[in-house]
């Protein structure tokens, strides 16, 4: 039987092809096209609008770096806001922190949550059954404009700035996120491949610098997000992640009993050591 292939449609001149064992589910939702695919190389994968969102094989790298860098940098994270994140991977990692009392996940597409709970339980784990998690089905941009609550940490786990996610990459959105954060509040978001999508890091960094006193890129290599180093941004008005001493990072990681597959206290610092070509993307203009 000939091998079936899925070709990702994200980068113009670069195509990632994944050998497919089985198409588990396929649906056109109100917001996007959704596929759950069994891939030979990375296990089961969630694909939205023909772009790989997450795979069982390497999701731990992304979810741990998006979660533990901001939560360990924050002195005592209790209330966490997740924008997007319908696969439940970020919520899973956030709920590992005993200090966390309440998590609000604002996901625009309920069909993604349903499909991930059913077909990708390895990613969400018990997150959707944890009483600390509150799921709000709404556009994240609309939610932050109207919400009145306050949070210690906000994690924007959005797809790339296409389709319904475009509104999550504008300055007005970041201003409203900042409004919902308490004084020592921290925000983290993803900025795509630093090599194939350099504008995403540069543009998001400039927008965050208009809103927050501190904005710092960090990186990790995530096999299914092709294009070398993958970028993240950490932002805050008060918390400077590298001012948290190695001893404090160790103690907070131990207190949270975090035994991770990627994130370590050493990685917490190393991920901010940027190669010159990535540093150049956030150089003052």
Interacting residue ranges for ligand SAM, rule: CB under 6 A: 53-54, 62, 83-87, 106-109, 112, 139-141, 157-159, 164-165, 167-168, 190
> Which is nearer to ligand SAM, 52 or 208 (by Cβ)?
52
Least distance to ligand SAM, CB of residue 90, Å: 8
Least distance to ligand SAM, CB of residue 166, Å: 8
Contact yes or no for 265/256 (Cβ under 8 A): no
Least distance to ligand SAM, CB of residue 285, Å: 26
Residue 106 region by backbone torsions, left for phi larger than 0, else alpha for psi between -120 and 50, else beta: beta
Distance between CA atoms of residues 152 and 74, nearest Å: 8
Residues with Cβ within 8 Å of residue 168, at least 6 apart in sequence: 83, 84, 140, 141, 156, 158, 161
> Which is nearer to ligand SAM, 32 or 202 (by Cβ)?
32
Distance between CA atoms of residues 285 and 276, nearest Å: 16
Q: Which is it for strands 133-137 and 102-107: parallel, antiparallel or unpaired? A: parallel
Least distance to ligand SAM, CB of residue 24, Å: 16
> Which is nearer to ligand SAM, 123 or 211 (by Cβ)?
123
Least distance to ligand SAM, CB of residue 184, Å: 25
Distance between CA atoms of residues 24 and 253, nearest Å: 37
- Say whether 160 is catalytic: no
Q: How far is CA 181 from the centre of its chain?
A: 18
Distance between CA atoms of residues 108 and 34, nearest Å: 14
> Which is nearer to ligand SAM, 18 or 106 (by Cβ)?
106
> Which is nearer to ligand SAM, 86 or 185 (by Cβ)?
86
Please give the torsion angle defined by the CA atoms of residues 22, 25, 31 and 32, in that order, rounded to the nearest 10 degrees. 10
Which of 87, 109, 139, 157 is an active site residue? 157
Least distance to ligand SAM, CB of residue 53, Å: 4
> Which is nearer to ligand SAM, 170 or 242 (by Cβ)?
170
Contact yes or no for 115/187 (Cβ under 8 A): no
Which residues are part of the catalytic machinery? 157
């Amino acid at each position: 039987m000939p091998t079936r292939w899925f070709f990702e449609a994200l980068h113009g001149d670069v195509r990632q092809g994944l050998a497919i064992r089985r198409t588990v589910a396929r649906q056109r939702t109100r917001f996007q096209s959704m596929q759950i695919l069994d891939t030979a190389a990375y296990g089961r994968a969630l694909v939205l609008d023909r772009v790989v969102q997450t795979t069982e094989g390497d999701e731990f790298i992304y979810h741990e770096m998006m979660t533990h860098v901001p939560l360990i940098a924050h002195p005592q994270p209790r209330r966490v806001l997740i924008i997007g994140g319908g696969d439940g991977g970020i919520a899973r990692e956030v709920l590992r922190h005993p200090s966390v009392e309440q998590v609000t996940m604002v996901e625009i597409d309920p069909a993604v949550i349903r499909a991930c709970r059913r077909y990708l339980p390895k990613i969400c784990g018990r997150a959707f059954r944890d009483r600390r998690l509150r799921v709000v089905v709404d556009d994240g941009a609309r939610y932050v404009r109207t919400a009145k609550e306050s949070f210690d940490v906000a994690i924007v786990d959005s797809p790339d700035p296409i389709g319904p996610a475009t509104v999550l990459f504008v300055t007005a959105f970041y201003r409203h996120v900042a409004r919902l954060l308490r004084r020592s509040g921290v925000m983290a978001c993803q900025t795509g491949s630093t090599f194939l999508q350099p504008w995403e890091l540069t543009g998001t960094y400039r927008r965050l610098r208009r809103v927050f006193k501190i904005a710092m890129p960090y990186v990790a290599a995530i096999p299914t997000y092709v294009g070398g180093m993958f970028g993240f941004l950490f932002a805050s008005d008060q918390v400077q992640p590298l001012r948290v001493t190695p001893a404090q990072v160790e103690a907070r990681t131990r207190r949270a009993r975090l035994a991770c597959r990627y994130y370590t206290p050493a990685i917490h610092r190393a991920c901010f050591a940027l190669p010159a070509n990535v540093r150049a993307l956030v150089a003052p203009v």
